[in-house]
A and B are shown apart, each in its own frame.
Chain A
Amino acid sequence: MDVVHREQRPLDSVMIETRELRYTYKTRRGPVEAVAGVNLRVDAGDLFGFLGPNGAGKTTTLRMLATLLPPTSGDADVAGCTLRREPQQVRERIGYVGQRGGTDPAITGRGELVFQARLYGATAEAARKRADELLTMLELEDCADRPCGSYSGGQRRRLDIGLGLVHRPPLLFLDEPTTGLDPQSRAHLWDEVRRLRDGGTTVFLTTHYLEEADALCNRLAIIDHGKIVAEGTPDELKRQIAGDAVTLSVAGDPQAALALLAAQPFVRDSSAEQGLLRLYVDRGETAMPAILRLLDGAGLELQTIALTRPSLDDVFLRQTGRSLREQAA
């Protein structure tokens, strides 16, 4: 048998469970609480997304779960082991792909894969076989024997994922996996991640890209200022905002229009941001004609109107009062 966990422990269905996880950085300006009591649960087989703007605490949480940072307080079970008391066992069962990758530019891709496999206990022979397997799976055969420094961004990211998978971990952490990649590389990586999930690996990824969380994840948590502000499947979260969003602008002061429309029974929620009115309605296709008629009747001139299906940005906006898209810009 080649690369194997040192100690077989039966996996139950909960892959990650955190209890009031906290992390406080000591900076020169005083303590900064980056993670302020995070409680989450990831089941085996999930493709779990951790979404939030930069500085929200995603990477800090991830690094705690990957045993890189000791929590300031709170605890977690990761891959069936307790984080605080059994970090070494956790390490044997997780794979990690950090933002910066982690390959030495002077070493070849094959060299890095073989070294990594041996760190998990493989013999030289088994490590070489495993490296070959991964190089084929990740389409890196052509550049395998060139130094990593010569790889393109997409190649390097695929290699990083290979390094995280060398020991076939049941749980893989991905920290902002597609940041800095061109759209094609990103699409390929998404396929790769989906294939991993289909193969039974639980994936926990952090991202600040809404489309990524929406497209890949079957469950999400949204984090802001160190706290989870929303959790559930992408559909559940979007349904929480109760329906479609109608965005419109009127000539003149929007307050009169806002007051009129907000009072309507089919309008669940409304807000005005920089002259744009945003209404959350049950069904956009029936709401729009009604809105047109109401504004017309009140003598208010409608300038623009648009209908959008709810997005995660709406969820974020709802929960935190800010737009995630603007944060990422």
Chain B
Amino acid sequence: MKIARDTWLVFQRYFGLFVRNPAWIVIGVVQPLLYLILFAPLLKSIAATPGFPSGGAYNVFVPGLLIQLGLFGASSVGFSLIAEVRFGVIERLRVTPVSRLSLLLGRALRDMLNLLVQSLLLILISLPFGLSIHPVGLLVMLALLALIALLFASISYALALWLRDENAFAPLIFTAALPLLLLSGVLLPLTLAPAWLRAIAAINPLAYAVDAARAIFNDHLTDLSVAKGVLIMAVLAILALMVAARSFGRAAA
């Protein structure tokens, strides 16, 4: 099928570019590693606080960290697309019969793979520190992360094609990502939050992903929050994909 072939070709191109530039992987992993090594140990003492969810400091902190990695990593992918528009690459590709959806999907698959590799690395490193996860739970977690990557990468690409300028894109992404992050329970669990904050967080889709992630790490795979988190991310990801695919079809500079 043409879309499958085109997507594979596009994925190969961007994967090749990525592999030739290992700096990206290193940058991606160093930041969460710093959180893990320099911050997480502080949580051990708060873990005893009433209202702190059970499971041990790492089982509460790492899922949130993974989601944060997904959010910021995937949101930043638009920068490289803006550069490509400027080089004329997107224009050149749009004149070929390549499917517009593949132009997006090939890139997004690369981004998803990137996040999954970084996440696995992080989980592996956390295991000796006290993190525990069931193998099935790991697969579900990776699936959730893949959906998060797809969602935020698609949004990032759509915004990049709309703005076409790094100076406008950067502040928009970071200003939008921060409240999403703070209101999702990533840094500290929302069970510690006052009622009004929790109410606002209820409309943040990312908060459901964080709840799902925590449930997964606590081996509560049949918990409703897992299904909710995965479903919400899946639906949003598909919507974002459709919107972003259309942007590739429109006059992108």
Contact = CB atoms under 8 A, between A and B. Distances in A.
18 contacts: A67-B95, A68-B91, A68-B94, A68-B251, A88-B97, A92-B97, A94-B95, A98-B91, A100-B86, A100-B88, A101-B87, A104-B17, A104-B84, A104-B87, A107-B13, A115-B13, A119-B98, A163-B92
B9 interface: yes
Nearest to B91: A98
Contacts of A92: 97
A267 to B, nearest CB: 49
Interface residues of B, number: 21
B84 to A, nearest CB: 7
Given A100-B87, A102-B89, A119-B9, A107 B17 contact: yes
Contacts of B13: 107, 115
Provide the main secondary structure of the chain B interface: helix
Contact of A96 (B20, B84, B92): B92
Interface in B12-32: 13, 16-17, 20-21
Contact of B91 (A91, A94, A102): A102
Contacts of A107: 13, 16-17
A32 interface: no
A106 B98 contact: no
Interface of A: 6, 63, 66-69, 88, 91-92, 94, 96, 98-107, 111, 115-116, 118-120, 163
A60 to B, nearest CB: 10
B104 to A, nearest CB: 15
Given A66-B95, A67-B95, A99 B88 contact: yes
A163 B95 CA distance: 11
A63 B94 CA distance: 11
A91 B17 contact: no
A161 B57 CA distance: 59
Interface in B63-93: 84, 86-89, 91-93
A111 B84 CA distance: 16
Given A107-B17, A115-B9, A120 B89 contact: no
